[in-house]
Amino acid sequence: MKKIISTPDAPKAVGPYSQAVEFNGMLFISGQIPIDPAIGKIVDGGIREQTEQVMKNIGVILKEAGYDYKDVVKSTCLLNDMDNFAAMNEVYARYYPENPPARAAYGVVRLPLGAMVEIETIAMKK
């Protein structure tokens, strides 16, 4: 049975979707953009600050569902400018120092609310 995961410590959905859904020991986290849940707005700064906020948002959703970064098996990163790929990678890599998940990264024309980065995540229980 699927279970909807929601926490006030992560941004509210900006559309008709759940923050995350757990099903059969798998957690599917919707694409997170760099909204600071305390103020409901995109964080100030550039790609590093935005990626940091996205990863924090993913972390609180993982925690709410009883997972952590070590359980992540796949990420998909969307960037509004592929010139930001290396800087995004620097921040992203800190969250996965060993055995990083599989990943894809795409350049896109535009992201919600003018975000520079969006990351969706899949985690599994061992």
114: tokens are 């003018």
- pLDDT tens-place string over residues 67-117: 999 999 999 999 999 999 999 999 999 999 999 999 999 999 999 999 999
pTM above 0.75, yes or no: yes
Report the CATH number at residue 33.
3.30.1330.40
The domain total for the chain is 1
Domain that holds residue 107: 3-124
Give the pLDDT mean for 19-33: 97
